C-alpha cells in the first residue's frame, strides 16, 4: 500500500513540479509572486477540456495547441497588462494577480457553471500492472511528459542564448540592460514560459483529475509550497519539491485519510516559511 | 482654527481642526442609522444594511492590520471561523449562551492572532510572504475543522432557533440590524482611536518604513502582534454574529477564502488606512452586486466585476475612493508606498 | 559613553569590519571617515543594532548593547540616521517627527509640541505640513536628523547627513549640528565632506578596508601618511592642509 501511494505521489508530483516550475521561474526572474497561477492552471484545464469535448482532441495532443497559446497569453498579459499596471511595486502585483485570479475563477463560474468536469479517454482505465500496484496509462504518460518538458525547460535555460539572457536578467537587471538585453521583452518571455508550463500541465492533469472553477485554489497552495520548499527561483528545487509534495500528499492521504491528509501541505508551507524561507535550494528570498 | 462654542477639538497633525466637519457628519450619521428602522418599512432593506454593516465591520478588522499597519493578510477569515466555532461549540456542547460566548470568540480570535502573528512576524515575514502564510493558516484551520469531531466535521454545526437577547438571536431583522450597527460603531471607534494615538502613529511608521520605525524606538514586532490581535478579536465577534444570524456553520463557510478576499476588497476599494474606507467600500461593492444581479443573475458576475474594480483601484486609485476626498494622505492615511525591504525575510 | 571593542563582521568570505576599537565620550563630536566601501555604514549598522557582530563588544554607558534590537538601543539613548534617507513617505513632516517624539511620550499633544520644537531647531518650521515624499534631498536629510533628534537621544549617529548637499546647505547643517551638540547631545558622524569634518569634530577615526588606520584630531589624522595613501587621489589631504577651518 505504501509503495503504491509513493508511486502515485511520484506521478502527480511530476505534474506539480511542472506547475511549480512556472511559478518559480516567474519569481526568480521577475520577482513577481503570481497569485493567479492556480487560476491560470484552471484555465488551461478548461481549454484542454473543451478541445476534447468540442473537437475530440486528445488532451495529450492538445499540449501542442495549449502550450504555445498559453505562452502567447502569458507574454501579452505581462507586457501590456501586469507590467504596466503594477508600476513594478511588489505589493501592487500581489493584489493585481489576486484580482486576476478572482476574475478568472468567477468568469469560469459564470460561463462554465460550477460543475466538475472530467474527460473520459478510451484508454483512461487501461493500466499497467506492476504486480503490487496498477498504474493507469494516463498517469504514466503524464509523468513522462512532465519530465520531458522539465528537461526541455532546463535545456532551454542552460543551453540557449535565450536562456542565458533570462538568467542574466534574473541575476542582474541593470547589468543586463547595459549589455543591450531588452529586459521588458525578457520579462514577458519568461512570464510566457511560466504560463506555458501551466498550459502543458493542464493538459496532462485533466485526464487524471477534474476541473471546476475552484481547481485553481487547490493548486495555488500546492504550487507555492513546492516553490518555497525548493527555493524561490530554483528549477531543481521545483522538481524535487514537486516530488516531495506529491508523495507527501499521497502518503498523507493514506495514513490520515482524505480530509486530514491535505493538512500536510499547508503545514509544510508554514514550517518552511518560518524556519527556512530560502527553501532547500534557493539562494535568496 | 477657531473654537466653536464649548467644543474645543484638538488640532490634527495635518494642521486642520480635527474634522470639526467630520464630527458633525459622524453625529448626523449616527442619529440617522439609529432611527432608520422606524422609517424603513421594508425589512429587506434593513437586512441589506445589516449585511453592509457586517462587511464594513469585518473589513475594518482587516484595515487595522492591512491599512494602518501595512501588513496584508490573505487569511483574515481564520479569525471569523475560529470565533464562530468557539461561541457555537460553547453553546451546543456546554450550553453557554452566545451573549457570553461572543466574548470567548473575541478572546479566541485574539489568541489566534497572537499565535499566527508571533510565528509569522518573529520569522520576519513581510509583504507577499506574510500574505501567503496567513492563507496557509486559514487553509490549515479549514482542513482541521473538517476533520475533527467537536466541530461537527464536514457536516457542520446546527444552532437551534431560539430568539432572545442572551442567545444574540432576533426574530426580526431590526434586532440584527442593531447588532451589526453596534459592531460597526465599535470598529469605527477603534479606527478613530488609532488615528489619534501613539499606537496608531507607530503602526503608520511601520507601514511606511519598518527599519526607520525600528531605529526610532518602535518595537515593531510587538506593535504588529498587537495589530493582528485586534484584527483577530474583531474577527472573532464577527463569527459569532454570523453564526447567530444564519444558525449553521461548516468548514467551507467558516474558513472561506471568499470572505478573506471580501474584507480586503472593501477596504482597498474604500480606502486603506482610513476610518470610513471599509464602510464606503462595503456600500459600493454591495451596489455593484445589486446592479450586476439585475443585469444578469448568474453567479460569478459580481465577483468578476469586483476583480476588475480591485485591479483598477490598485492601478489608478491606490488610496481608494476615500482618496478622492483627500488631496493627500492625512494623519496615517493609507498608502501603497511599500518599503524597500518588502520581500526580505530576515534581518541579518 | 560609547565603547566599541574588537568588533568584527564577516559576510561570507568578506571581512567588512575587522577588530575595530573606538570610543565616544559624552559631549564630543566624533567623526568616522574613510574611502567608499571602507565599512563605515556597516559599523554604524552594527553599533545601532541592525547587524550582529561576529566578534567584539559594544557598550553604551557601560551597558552592553551587543545583539540588542535597534528599538531597545534607541530607548537606551542612541539613535541613528540612514545614509539613504528613509522618510515615512505617506506622512507629512510634522507626523514624521512626531513618530520620533512618541518614543518618549504617550500623549499626542506633547509629541506634537516636541516635534514642532525640534522642527524649529533644524529649520523646518515652514515645511511642517508638506508630505515627506515631496521634500528635496536637503530637506529629507534634515527631516532624518529631526526625527532622530525628537527621540531625545544622548548619542546621535549621523550617517553622511551632508551627502548631496550644496555648500550653503552644508554650512547650515554644520551650524545645526553644533547647536544640537551644545544642547547636550553627543554626536558620532560618518562623513565624506571634509570641510564639515574639520569644522565639527573633536576627534576623528579613519576606517579603510574594515580596519582602523588612524585616529586623533582631524589635523593629525590628515597628515597621517597612511590616511593620505588611503585617500590617494581624493585630494582630501590637500583640503585639510590648506586649512579653511573657521
The CA distance from B90 to B84, in Å, is 10
In chain C, what are the domains? 2-77+153-241 (3.40.50.300), 88-152 (no CATH)
User: What's the CATH fold of domain A2-114+125-275?
Assistant: ABC transporter involved in vitamin B12 uptake, BtuC (1.10.3470)
**Residue A154 Cα distances to A18, A163, A193, B32, angstroms:** 12, 9, 12, 65
Tell me which of A121-130, B97-106, B174-183, B279-288 is least confident.
Answer: A121-130
Domain tally for chain B? 1
Task: Classify burial at B153, counting beta carbons within 10 Å of its beta carbon; exposed 0-12, middle 13-18, buried 19 or more.
Answer: middle
* Residue A231 main-chain phi, psi, to 5 deg: 105, 125
Domain carrying residue B148 = 50-257
C130 or A258, which is more confident? Answer: C130
Judged against a pLDDT cut of 70, whether residue A128 lies above it is answered with yes
How close is the nearest chain C Cα to the Cα of B201, in Å? 6
Kindly identify which residue of chain B lies nearest to residue A213, measuring between CA atoms: B300
| pLDDT value, residue A88 | 59
B59 found inside a domain: yes
Retrieve residue C191's grid coordinates. Answer: 562623513
Q: How far apart are CA C185 and CA C188, in angstroms?
A: 10
Smallest Cβ–Cβ distance between A99 and the set B124, B299, B311 belongs to: B311
Confidence (pLDDT) at A165 = 86
pLDDT-derived band at B215 (thresholds 50, 70, 90) equals very high
Three-state secondary structure call for residue A94:
helix
Which of A270, A275, A282, A285 is most worth mutating to test chain B (most B CB atoms within 10 A of its CB)? A270
What span, in angstroms and rounded, lies between the C-alpha atoms of C190 and A257?
Answer: 62
**How many angstroms away from the CA of B256 is the closest CA of chain A?**
11
Mutation choice for A interface testing from B121, B128, B152, B297 by most A CBs within 10 A: B128
Instruction: Inform me whether the pLDDT recorded for B166 exceeds 90.
Output: no
Residue B242 lies in a domain: yes
Per-residue pLDDT reduced to its tens digit, A38-71: 999 999 999 999 999 889 888 888 889 999 999 9
Q: Is B36 inside any structural domain?
A: no
- Lookup: cell for A170: 534574473
Residue C232 pLDDT: 64
Task: Answer whether residue C230 shows pLDDT above 60.
Answer: yes
Alpha-carbon span A239 to A137, nearest angstrom = 22
Q: What is the mean pLDDT of chain C?
A: 87
Question: What is the spatial distance between Cα B222 and Cα B203, in angstroms, rounded to a whole number?
Answer: 10
| A131-184: pLDDT as tens digits | 777 778 888 888 888 888 888 888 888 888 888 888 888 888 778 778 888 888
Chain B residues whose CB is inside 8 A of the A86 CB are 314-315
Q: What's the rounded mean pLDDT across residues A186-209? A: 90
Distances (CA, A) of B160 to B90, B148, B183: 13, 22, 23
Q: What is the pLDDT of residue B163?
A: 86
Closest chain B residue to the Cα of A92, Cα to Cα: B314
Question: For C8-48, what is the HEC assignment?
Answer: EEEECCEEEEEEEEEEECCCCEEEEECCCCCCHHHHHHHHH
Interface test with B, best of C14, C51, C70 (most B CBs within 10 A): C70
Cβ contact B234:B64 at 8 Å: yes
Q: Is A89 on the interface with B (CB under 8 A)?
A: yes
Q: What is the pLDDT of residue B113?
A: 97
Query: Higher pLDDT residue, A187 or B112?
Result: B112
Most confident option among A162-166, B112-116, C52-56: B112-116
Name the residue among B56, B76, B67 with its Cα closest to residue B203. Answer: B67
In whole angstroms, give the CA distance from residue C201 to residue C31: 6
Distance CA(A234)–CA(A176), nearest Å, equals 20
Position B340 scores a pLDDT of: 27
Is B299 inside any structural domain? Answer: no
Q: What is the mean pLDDT of residues C123-139?
A: 88
Residue C123 is predicted with a pLDDT of 87
User: pLDDT over 70 for what percent of chain C?
Assistant: 94
Cβ–Cβ of B345/A263 closer than 8 Å?
no
Residue B144 CA: distances (Å) to CA of B120, B147, B247, C108: 20, 5, 21, 45
**Minimum mean pLDDT range among A105-109, B6-10, B24-28, C39-43:** B6-10
Each residue of B306-327: pLDDT tens digit? 999 999 998 888 888 988 876 5
DSSP per-residue codes, B282-296: HHHHHHHHHHHHHH-
Confidence of residue A86 (pLDDT cuts 50, 70, 90): low
pLDDT computed for residue B346 by the predictor = 32
Mean pLDDT of chain A: 85
End-to-end CA distance of chain A: 38
Packed helices B43-63 and B173-196: angle between N→C axes, nearest 10 degrees: 30
Residue C218 has pLDDT above 70, yes or no: yes
What integer is the mean pLDDT of B133-144? 92
Q: What CA–CA distance (Å, rounded) separates A76 from A71?
A: 9
DSSP 8-state assignment for residue B323:
G
Cβ count within 10 A of residue A107: 18
Residue with cell 472593501: B266
Minimal-distance CA residue of chain A relative to B257: A217
Residue A96 reports pLDDT greater than 60:
yes
Which partners does chain A have (≥3 C-beta pairs < 8 Å)? B
Between B122 and B299, the higher pLDDT residue: B122
Separation CA B56–CA B63 (nearest Å): 10
Chain B CB within 8 Å of residue A270 CB:
yes
Segments in A113-214 forming alpha helices (H): 137-159, 161-171, 173-178, 183-205
Instruction: Name the grid cell of A89.
Output: 511595486
Q: What is the ipTM of this complex?
A: 0.86
**Strand A127-129 versus strand A134-136 pairing type:** antiparallel
Mean per-residue pLDDT for B208-221?
93
Which residue from C minimizes the CA distance to B70?
Answer: C90
At CB < 8 Å, which residues of chain B contact C?
10-11, 13-15, 196-198, 201-202, 204-205, 207-209, 211-220, 328-329, 331-335, 337, 347-348
Q: Is residue B342 part of a domain?
A: no
Q: What is the pLDDT of residues A203-259, one digit of tens each?
A: 988 888 888 888 888 888 888 889 888 887 778 888 888 998 888 888 888 887 777
Closest residue on chain A to B264 (Cα): A95
Q: What's the grid cell of residue A159?
A: 543551453
- Within a domain: B126: yes
**pLDDT for C12-45, tens place per residue?**
888 888 889 999 999 999 999 888 878 888 999 9
Helices (H), chain C: 40-48, 70-75, 93-101, 108-122, 137-150, 167-182, 194-200, 218-222, 225-230, 236-241
Q: What is the pLDDT of residue A253?
A: 82
Q: What is the mean pLDDT of chain B?
A: 84
Amino acid at each position: 500500500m505504501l509503495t503504491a501511494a509513493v508511486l502515485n505521489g511520484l506521478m502527480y508530483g511530476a505534474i506539480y513540479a511542472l506547475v511549480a516550475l512556472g511559478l518559480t521561474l516567474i519569481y526568480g526572474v521577475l520577482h513577481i509572486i503570481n497569485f493567479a497561477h492556480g487560476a491560470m492552471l484552471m484555465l488551461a484545464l478548461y481549454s484542454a477540456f473543451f478541445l476534447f469535448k468540442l473537437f475530440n482532441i486528445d488532451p495529450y495532443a492538445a499540449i501542442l495547441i495549449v502550450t504555445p497559446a498559453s505562452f502567447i497569453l502569458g507574454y501579452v498579459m505581462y507586457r501590456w497588462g501586469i507590467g504596466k499596471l503594477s508600476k513594478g511595486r511588489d505589493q501592487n502585483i500581489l493584489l493585481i494577480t489576486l484580482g486576476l485570479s478572482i476574475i478568472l475563477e468567477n468568469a469560469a463560474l459564470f460561463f462554465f457553471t460550477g460543475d466538475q468536469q472530467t474527460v473520459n479517454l478510451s484508454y483512461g482505465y487501461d493500466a499497467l500492472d506492476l504486480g503490487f500496484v496498477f498504474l493507469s496509462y494516463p498517469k504514466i504518460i503524464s509523468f513522462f511528459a512532465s519530465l520531458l518538458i522539465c528537461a526541455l525547460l532546463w535545456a532551454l535555460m542552460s543551453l540557449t542564448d535565450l536562456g542565458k539572457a533570462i538568467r542574466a536578467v534574473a541575476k542582474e537587471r541593470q547589468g543586463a540592460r547595459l549589455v543591450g538585453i531588452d529586459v521588458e521583452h525578457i520579462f514577458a518571455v519568461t512570464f510566457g514560459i511560466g504560463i506555458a508550463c501551466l498550459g502543458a500541465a493542464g493538459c496532462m492533469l485533466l485526464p487524471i483529475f477534474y476541473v471546476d472553477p475552484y481547481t485553481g485554489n487547490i493548486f495555488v497552495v500546492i504550487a507555492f509550497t513546492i516553490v518555497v520548499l525548493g527555493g524561490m527561483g530554483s528549477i531543481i528545487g521545483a522538481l524535487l519539491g514537486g516530488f516531495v509534495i506529491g508523495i507527501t500528499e499521497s502518503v498523507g492521504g493514506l495514513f490520515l485519510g482524505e480530509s486530514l491528509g491535505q493538512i500536510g501541505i499547508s503545514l509544510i508551507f508554514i514550517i518552511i516559511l518560518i524556519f527556512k524561507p530560502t527553501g532547500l535550494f534557493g539562494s535568496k528570498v | 482654527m477657531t473654537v466653536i462654542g464649548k467644543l474645543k477639538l484638538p488640532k490634527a497633525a495635518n494642521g486642520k481642526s480635527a474634522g470639526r466637519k467630520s464630527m458633525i457628519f459622524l453625529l448626523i450619521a449616527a442619529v440617522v442609522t439609529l432611527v432608520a428602522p422606524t422609517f424603513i418599512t421594508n425589512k429587506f432593506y434593513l437586512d441589506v444594511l445589516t449585511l453592509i454593516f457586517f462587511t464594513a465591520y469585518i473589513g475594518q478588522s482587516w484595515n487595522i492590520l492591512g491599512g494602518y499597519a501595512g501588513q496584508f493578510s490573505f487569511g483574515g477569515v481564520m479569525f471569523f471561523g475560529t470565533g464562530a466555532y468557539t461561541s457555537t461549540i460553547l453553546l451546543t456542547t456546554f450550553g453557554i449562551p452566545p451573549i457570553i460566548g461572543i466574548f470567548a470568540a473575541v478572546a479566541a480570535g485574539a489568541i489566534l492572532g497572537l499565535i499566527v502573528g508571533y510565528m509569522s512576524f518573529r520569522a520576519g515575514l513581510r509583504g507577499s510572504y506574510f500574505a501567503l502564510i496567513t492563507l496557509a493558516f486559514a487553509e490549515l484551520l479549514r482542513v482541521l475543522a473538517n476533520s475533527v469531531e467537536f466541530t461537527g466535521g464536514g457536516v457542520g454545526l446546527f444552532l437551534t432557533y431560539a430568539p432572545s437577547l442572551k442567545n444574540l438571536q432576533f426574530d426580526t431583522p431590526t434586532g440584527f440590524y442593531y447588532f451589526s450597527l453596534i459592531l460597526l460603531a465599535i470598529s469605527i471607534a477603534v479606527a478613530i482611536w488609532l488615528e489619534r494615538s501613539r499606537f496608531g502613529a507607530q503602526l503608520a511608521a511601520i507601514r511606511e518604513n519598518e527599519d526607520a520605525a525600528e531605529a526610532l524606538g518602535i518595537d515593531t514586532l510587538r506593535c504588529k502582534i498587537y495589530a493582528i490581535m485586534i484584527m483577530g478579536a474583531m474577527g472573532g465577534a464577527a463569527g459569532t454574529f454570523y453564526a447567530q444570524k444564519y444558525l449553521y456553520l461548516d468548514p467551507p463557510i467558516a474558513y472561506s477564502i471568499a470572505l478573506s478576499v471580501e474584507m480586503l476588497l472593501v477596504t482597498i476599494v474604500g480606502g486603506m488606512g482610513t476610518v470610513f474606507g471599509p464602510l464606503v467600500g462595503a456600500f459600493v461593492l454591495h451596489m455593484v452586486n445589486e446592479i450586476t444581479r439585475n443585469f444578469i443573475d448568474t453567479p460569478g458576475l459580481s465577483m468578476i466585476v469586483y476583480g476588475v474594480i480591485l485591479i483598477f483601484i490598485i492601478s489608478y486609485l491606490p488610496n481608494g475612493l476615500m482618496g478622492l476626498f483627500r488631496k493627500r494622505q492625512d494623519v496615517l492615511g493609507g498608502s501603497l508606498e511599500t518599503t524597500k525591504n518588502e520581500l526580505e525575510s530576515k534581518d541579518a | 559613553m560609547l565603547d566599541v571593542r574588537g568588533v568584527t563582521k564577516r559576510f561570507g568570505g568578506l571581512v567588512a569590519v575587522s577588530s575595530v576599537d573606538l570610543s565616544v565620550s559624552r559631549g564630543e563630536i566624533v567623526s568616522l571617515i574613510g574611502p567608499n566601501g571602507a565599512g563605515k555604514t556597516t559599523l554604524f549598522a552594527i553599533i545601532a543594532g541592525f547587524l550582529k557582530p561576529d566578534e567584539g563588544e559594544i557598550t553604551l554607558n557601560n551597558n552592553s548593547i551587543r545583539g540588542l534590537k535597534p528599538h531597545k538601543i534607541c530607548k537606551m539613548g542612541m539613535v541613528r540616521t540612514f545614509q539613504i534617507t528613509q522618510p515615512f513617505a505617506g506622512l507629512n513632516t510634522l507626523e514624521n517627527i512626531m513618530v520620533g517624539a512618541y518614543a518618549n511620550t504617550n500623549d499626542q499633544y506633547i509629541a506634537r509640541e516636541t516635534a514642532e520644537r525640534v522642527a524649529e531647531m533644524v529649520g523646518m518650521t515652514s515645511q511642517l505640513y508638506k508630505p515627506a515624499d515631496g521634500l528635496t534631498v536637503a530637506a529629507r536629510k534634515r527631516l532624518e536628523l529631526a526625527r532622530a533628534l525628537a527621540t531625545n537621544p544622548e548619542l546621535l549617529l549621523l550617517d553622511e547627513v551632508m551627502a548631496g548637499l550644496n555648500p550653503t546647505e552644508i554650512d547650515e547643517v554644520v551650524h545645526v549640528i553644533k547647536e544640537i551638540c551644545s544642547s547636550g547631545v553627543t554626536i558620532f558622524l560618518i562623513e565624506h565632506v571634509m570641510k564639515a569634518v574639520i569644522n565639527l569634530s573633536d576627534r576623528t577615526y579613519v576606517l579603510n578596508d574594515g580596519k582602523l588606520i588612524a585616529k586623533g584630531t582631524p589635523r593629525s589624522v590628515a597628515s597621517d601618511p597612511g590616511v593620505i595613501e588611503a585617500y590617494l587621489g581624493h585630494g582630501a589631504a590637500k583640503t585639510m592642509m590648506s586649512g579653511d577651518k573657521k
